[in-house]
Amino acid sequence: MDKITAQSREAALELIEKAGLKGGELVVIGCSTSEVCGERIGSDGKVEVAGLIVDGIMPVFEERGIHFAAQCCEHLNRALVVEKEIADKYGFEQVCVVPHPHAGGSFGTEVYHRFKEPVMVEEIKADAGLDIGNTLIGMHLKRVAVPVRLVNNKIGEAFVNAARTRPKYIGGERAFYE
């Protein structure tokens, strides 16, 4: 079980480094605890496993002032748990629902109970993301997502995909880019 926490921490640290994340930025995290346990997504979620993952990632982001949102499962249309302060700061529209393991998923539920002042929102545009177990976080990333190849690409039995975002290139052949 300590391995899951350590793998989660390493994946978060690697994303921060490779994506060049800074304090104040927002990361979306989707997680299937079923996949972490070697089962099919949505079939055998475990709040205890979600807790181990949160134990690994939450301190990493908090220490660096990076905010994160927990994507819930398809039964809540992939709504997200965020701190109220972040929803207010970014103008995210709140929705009324409280996640639980069978509608929201174990990870979303665990994050909801750990945040200081959790609220639910329907959509965000994050600067980067971690997708633990193929939960399809792309709908919550800014417009141009760029894959981030992680060395630490497994948590338990789940594959971990990561992405960062960048501004769109516009202008054509006469334009200059940084």
Question: Burial of 96 by CB count in 10 Å (0-12 exposed, 13-18 middle, 19+ buried)?
Answer: exposed
Q: How much helix, strand and coil, in percent to the nearest 5, is found in the chain?
A: 35, 25, 35
pTM: 0.93
Q: Using an 8 Å Cβ cutoff, are 136 and 108 in contact?
A: no
What's the CA gap between 126 and 164, in Å, rounded? 9
Q: What's residue 1's pLDDT? A: 61
Q: What's residue 146's pLDDT? A: 97
Q: How confident is the model at residue 88 (pLDDT cuts 50, 70, 90)?
A: very high
Closest CA to 83 of 60, 101, 65, 102: 65
- pLDDT tens digits for 2-23? 999 999 999 999 999 999 999 9
Q: Please report, as a single letter, which amino acid is at residue 105.
A: G
Residue 152 gets which letter from DSSP?
S
- pLDDT tens digits for 114-165? 999 999 999 999 999 999 999 999 999 999 999 999 999 999 999 999 999 9
Q: What mean pLDDT do residues 169-178 have?
A: 82
- Residue 143: strand, helix, or coil: coil
Q: Which residue has the higher pLDDT, 152 or 176?
A: 152
Q: Hey, what domains does the chain have and what are their CATH numbers?
A: 2-167 (3.40.50.10360)
